[in-house]
Every structure is written in structure tokens, then in C-alpha cells.
Amino acid sequence: MRQILAANIKEQRRILGISQEKLAETAGLSWQTINSIECQRTWVSDNTLEALASVFKIETFLLLMPPETRAALSLNSTNALLELAEAKKTFDDAVYGIFTTIK
């Protein structure tokens, strides 16, 4: 679990383009704490997990999920949005057709 958490925190920091120091400052932690987590020397409390997730603007449980599982969840979300957009287009086309017929 420490390895997964460390990898996820590093990845989220990379995405945001922030240093350990900036993450620590934003989350209200010390940079030593962030370093210890990323180097898998320590575990975290639920409050620390929540603070980190808040900085990253993600759900807390995502920090504990293996990257491949998180990627699958993201892909499923993307597919759902694409399907929703297609359904909306179909609906809009149908409504436009009805209004055109009524005119």
C-alpha cells in the first residue's frame, strides 16, 4: 500500500507541476512528511490523506488505488461522457426535426 500511495502522490504532484515543498505547504504538512510518504518510510493518517486529496482535487480513495485501476476508472468515466454527448446529440436532432415539421 505504501508503494501505491507513494506512486500516486508523485504522479499527482507531477500533473500539478508542484514540488514536495509546495504540496506540503498547501496541504498544511511538512515537506519532511511528504518526503517520508513518497519514500515509503511512513504511513499516513486519514486526515493527511484527506488533506492531500483536497490539494489534488480528487476523491481520497483514489490515492490508495493502483494506477492501472485508476486509469480504468478514468477511461470508464470518459466513455460515459462520450456516450452522454452522443445521446444528447441524438435528442437535439430529434427535437430539431419535430420543430421543423411543426413549422
pLDDT of 58-89, one tens digit each? Answer: 889 889 988 777 666 665 556 666 767 777 78
Neighbour count for residue 8 (Cβ, 10 Å): 22
C-beta of residue 27 within 8 angstroms of C-beta of residue 60: no
Copy the grid coordinates of residue 41.
518510510
**Residue 22, pLDDT score:** 97
Global pTM reads 0.68
Domain ranges (residues) in the chain:
1-64, 66-103
Q: Running DSSP on this structure, what letter comes out for residue 44?
A: -
Pick the CATH number of 1-64 from 3.40.50.1860, 3.40.50.300, 1.10.260.40, 2.60.40.10: 1.10.260.40
Kindly tell me the sign of the dihedral angle through the C-alpha atoms of 87, 88, 89, 94: positive
6/15 Cα distance (integer angstroms): 14
Cα 96 to Cα 57: distance, rounded to the nearest angstrom: 38
